[in-house]
Structure formats: structure tokens, C-alpha cells
Chains A and B, each alone.
Chain A
Amino acid sequence: MAETPASPPSLPPTPPLWRRLWLPVLVFALLALVPFVWGERFILGLVTRAMIMAIAALSLDLILGYGALVSFGHAAFLGLGAYAVAILFSHDIVDAAIAFPVAILVGAGFAFVTGAISLKTRGVYFIMITLAFGQMAFFTATSLSAYGGDDGLRMFHRSEVFGTRILANDTTFYFVVLGTLAGCFVLLKMIVGSRFGRVLRGAKENERRMRALGFDPFRYRLAAYVIAGAICALAGALFANLGMFVAPAYMTWQRSGEFIAMVVLGGMGTLIGPIIGAIGVTLVEEWLAALTQHWKVIFGPMVVLVAIFARGGIVKLLERVAGK
């Protein structure tokens, strides 16, 4: 029997307890154990990078998974946050207490301006216009000759925290990033579950009905876009601190594509999925790159397969396994 196509998709049932509670607890517990099990600098740095990418993917999930807004310029926010920190650093403003809020504000501001324009469009046009804004940010960074242009900008040490250099310790920095990731996860969980989040999801399911109920989807989408931009910029601020370096390469459109791959692979609209996806993609990339310099020949088809077959991503897969 064919499915009846006419019935509108109802909101998915509340996910089982293990997904809401135990899966995130497991993921975060594993991440917290990493420094104690593998203390090597390389592993620590790699997982830190994976977690920063997870923050970025998490922020994308808010607009992609819950708002169905396919942003193809999300890497711009990562770059903006990173550049904000590095540029302030080059002007001797090295304290995270100033630099990080500025980075977040820059991300939010850019999201507000570009979101106000791009959210007027729909579907393909939205994908393309976000891509265009991402490219704009990229080219602006390459032409910032005062701040390194194509070559990027180096920071001599990590941001200070109220005058102290506690972030210089890799393990401390690891836990700061882990804490930020957990904080963003909880924050987004609350946002998604709130009335705001339900309006956002409602507008994704049926925009006309939401309008009829008296909501203006545009304003909710714009707010979500700004939140996502701010969180991704925060990830960028951490990213600049990780390698103590920023470059236009942080905001290439390929990176935006990778963010989408992370979210879809992990499971859109689940929040925990994109975290798993981001960590998975980062680790697989690293592993393949160690195997062969032509790792993209393997990674590319993997992305194609994920797009064609991974409906719902890893989280859905786990659900199917758990359901049996």
C-alpha cells in the first residue's frame, strides 16, 4: 500500500528518554574522559578542534534542522568570530572578557543584517544568497591587507582571562571548549523547547497556518538566524585561540558545505546529532588524511552516500537499532 501523501507531516513524537538524556550524557562523558585517557597534545588538539566544529554545527542545526533554512554561508560566522578576536589581539586587546563578547556581537550583527535580506527569499534563492554573503565575508578577509590578507593573522599567545594566561594550558583550554559546547547544547535545547522554538518549527511545517495563527515567521526566523550566527562566532573565537592563527581559509564555502555534511550526517533537528556528526567528520577527515594525501577521493563519495542514504543521520540509525 502506498502512503497517503495528502496528510501533512505531524510533529515528530517526543524522542525516547535515552536520546533526550542518556545519549548526550554519554557523549559528554566520553569527551570529558578524553584528556585522562589520551593525554597527548595531538589528540587533545584534534578533539578540541572537533568540539569547536561541533559548536558551529550545533548553531547551524538551529536554523537548518528546526527552521529548514539551508544556510550555505555558515563558515562566515566562524571566520568573523575568529577575526574579531585576532584583530583585537593585534591592537593589544587580549582579554577574552572583551574579545569574546565582541566576537559574539560581530557574529550577531552580521547575521542580523544579512539575515534581514536573505530571509526575504525562499528555497534555492536562500541557499544562494547565504552563499553569496559567505563569499563576501571571505573576499573581505582576503583583502584586509592590514591584517594579513590572504596569509592570515597570527596571535602570539591565547586570549587572557582577566589578565591571567590560564588558556595557554591545552588541557584547561580543552575543558573550556567542552564547557562551552555543553553550555551551547543546553541553551539551544531550551530555546528549541520554548515557545519560540515551537513557533520556529511550526513555521517550518506549515508557514501559512502559522501566519493564520497570528505569528510572523520572518521575525522568528531572523531571531534564530541571529542566535545561530552569534553561537557560531563564539566557536570562531575559540577556533582562533586553538591554533593562535586566523586566515580567510576559515570561511571558504567548502567549510560551509562541511558544516551541512556534519549536521545531516549526525541527524538534523536533534542537536546531539550534529555534535556527533561534527566530531565524526573531523576524526574521519584526520584519519583519512593520515592514510593518503588524496583523502578527499574517499571522503567525497562518503558525503555522497550520506546524502543519498543517511535519512535522519546517525541519531535516526541509533533509534532504529534501539527500536528493534
Chain B
Amino acid sequence: MSSTLLIIQTLNGLQLGVLLFLIAAGLTLVFGVMDFINLAHGVQYMLGAYLAAMFVAWTGNFFIGIALALICALAFGLLLEVVVMRHLYDRDHLEQVLATFGLILFLNEGVKIVWGAAPLQVPIPDSLSGTIRIADGVLYPVWRLAIIGSGLMVALGLYLIVAKTRVGMLIRAGATNAPMVSALGVDIRRLFMIVFGFGAMLAGFAGSMAAPVFSVEPGMGDNLLILAFVVIVIGGIGSIRGAFIGALLVGLVDTLLRSFSVDLLRLAGLSPSDARTIGPAIASMSIYILMAAVLFFRPTGLFPAKG
């Protein structure tokens, strides 16, 4: 367990955490304000990556490509809201889960038809390629640092919007007691449309930032979606702060245990072969155990939005 590896894996964990936060932020607000479970949120992440791949290839400029991808992700989120989601607000969670599950099937297959089943590659822009020396003998890709940096900036921006602006106040109020906000004369449907579109855009942003790092392929959002759900359940549904802390926690625990669980088990006295067998299993289960533990002691998460 060298310290170099520890630093690098911690940064990788932060990077995963930041991506998870971008996805979880939209999810938790939609969940919190309208009590709506959107399984199709992971698909927005996937679409963001595909749109980025397409526009970057078209325009030849990474940043213009990402900007266009964001606009399209927002537009698509609003379209989904109008066509499908709107009919589900007053329904049971069961029906919401089922309908958005159907959307996942449709969209995962849809991107296969439009862009093909083979993974796409997105080049890292020249200005942000290469590695940087962050400590003695520790080199880290600039692009991954850019992901962490931009994610943290978005987190800060979101915090300011939610904590300091009028829209943010309405969102917080909506997460705490939506019928009351509605009764006070706020058009909660429009508020929700804004939140939904914005959340879709954030997930799309996460996808387009992740596109150069991971391969862009159908179904790439599914696993992150489940992780994002773990995040918001740990953090407390409807809470941006909870999503942020939950995302970093999940990102770090998952990444660090994946690289160090075998070593840790060997330190705990297991034989090397046992440790190699059990280690990966424990690593992949760790965040679910974490979530079950949090829910067992705090059934509404760490920072519940509803009082």
C-alpha cells in the first residue's frame, strides 16, 4: 500500500464522487420537490456523453462541442418532461419506476441504433491533455483534475443558487413541503420543469466530462444511476448538501476499497489466496453495505430535507 497509489486512488475517488454528485444533484431535487423517482436519469448522463462525442467530432472543438451537448441535453430533458414525466407526477412510485424503466430500455437501445453499438472515443482537448506532477513521483492526468475542479465549481454554484436565490428558496421550500408552496401561489409544475431540465443538463454535463475518460457506450449510465441512488439515499432525499457528502463518500469508499481491499484483508490476517477471493467481493458490496448501515440507523438518510 504505497502512498503514491493512495494519493492517486484518492484523487480517482474524488473524481468519481464529483461525477456522482453531478448526477445525484438533479436526481435528489426531482425526488425531493416532486416525490418523483426518475430511473431514466442515468440515461441523461449517457446522452450527454454521446452528444459530446458527436458535437466534438462535428465542430472539431472540444469546448464548443460540450456547450452544444449541454444545450441539447437540456432540450431533451424538457422534452422528456413534457412527453412522459408530466403524466406520472400524481402516480404511485411503482408506476413511476415502471415507466422510467421502460424509458431506459428504449433509450439504451435508441442510442445503439443512432450511434451504433461500438463504444465511441472522445479525444481530450490538447490544452488539458498530459499529466501534472502533484507530488514527488506522482503524476496525474490534467483532464481528471479538470473533472474534479469543474465538478467542485458546479457544486459551489449549485449551493449558491439553492441557498441564496429566489428559485433556490422555492426549491428548498418545495422539497420540504410541496403542497404548501403550491398553496402559496407558486406554479409548482413550472418550478419542477425547471428543476427537471436543469437536473438533466447536470447529468449531461457529467456525461460529457466523463466521455474522454470512460468509453461512450449504451447502458453506461445504468451503473452510475444505481450509485447515484445510493448517494441520495445516504445523503437524504432532497438535500443538495447530503448529495454532495454522500457522493464523495461513495466515490472514495468504492474506489479505495477496490484497490486496497485485498491488502487490508491480508493485514487483517487472511491468507493471500483468501484475501484475493474475498477482497473484490467486499469491495463491490461495500457501498451497499454502507447504505444499508446508514438506513438502518437513520432511515431517512444523513441530511433529510423533510423536517
Contacts and interface: CB of A to CB of B under 8 A. Distances in A.
B102 A302 contact: yes
A324 to B, nearest CB: 26
B103 interface: yes
A121 B299 CA distance: 6
A297 B97 contact: no
Given A142-B284, A264-B98, A304-B102, A127 B110 contact: no
B113 A261 contact: no
Q: Which of B84, B112, B281, B289 has the most CB of A within 10 A?
A: B281
Contact of B295 (A64, A121, A136): A121
B106 interface: yes
Contact of A301 (B102, B222, B233, B284): B102
A132 B291 contact: yes
Contact of B113 (A253, A294, A301): A294
A185 to B, nearest CB: 22
A296 interface: yes
Interface in A134-166: 135-136, 139-140, 142-146
Nearest to B292: A117
B106 A301 contact: yes
B109 A296 contact: yes
A133 B102 CA distance: 22
B108 A296 contact: yes
A131 interface: yes
A300 interface: yes
A13 to B, nearest CB: 22
Interface in B74-114: 84, 87-88, 91, 93-99, 101-110, 112-113
Interface in A290-318: 294-297, 299-308
Nearest to A116: B296
A247 B17 CA distance: 30
B295 A127 contact: no
B108 to A, nearest CB: 7
Contacts of B105: 254, 296, 299-300, 303
B24 interface: no
Contacts of A253: 222, 226
Contacts of A124: 31, 35, 37, 93, 237
A36 to B, nearest CB: 35
B132 interface: no
B110 A132 contact: no
A135 B97 CA distance: 17
A143 B103 contact: no
B277 interface: yes
A264 B222 CA distance: 22
B288 A136 contact: yes
A193 interface: no
A300 B98 CA distance: 10
Interface string A230-271: 000000000000000000000001100100110010000000
Interface string B265-307: 0000000000001001100110011011001100111000000
A304 B91 CA distance: 13
A125 interface: yes
A294 B295 contact: no
Contacts of A305: 102
A295 B300 CA distance: 39
B229 A140 contact: no
A228 B31 CA distance: 29
A136 B285 contact: yes
A84 B206 CA distance: 40
A145 B91 CA distance: 43
A117 B289 CA distance: 11
Contacts of B301: 125
B95 A129 contact: no
Interface string A32-64: 000000000000000000000000000000001
A118 B292 CA distance: 8
A131 B225 CA distance: 12
Given A70-B93, A297-B110, A131 B102 contact: no
Nearest to B285: A136
A214 interface: no
B237 A303 contact: no
A305 B69 CA distance: 29
B295 A117 contact: yes
A286 B254 CA distance: 37
A120 interface: yes
B33 interface: no
Contacts of A133: 288, 292
B253 to A, nearest CB: 14
8 contacts: A70-B94, A72-B97, A125-B301, A128-B233, A132-B288, A260-B94, A260-B97, A261-B98
Interface of A: 64, 70, 72, 117-118, 120-125, 127-129, 131-133, 135-136, 139-140, 142-146, 253-254, 257, 260-261, 264, 294-297, 299-308
Given A306-B102, A307-B91, 18 more contacts: A117-B292, A120-B296, A121-B299, A125-B299, A125-B300, A127-B37, A133-B288, A139-B284, A254-B105, A264-B95, A294-B113, A296-B106, A297-B106, A300-B104, A301-B106, A307-B95, A307-B98, A308-B84
Q: Which 8 A-B pairs have the closest CB atoms?
A: A300-B106, A303-B102, A300-B105, A307-B99, A139-B284, A296-B109, A307-B98, A304-B102
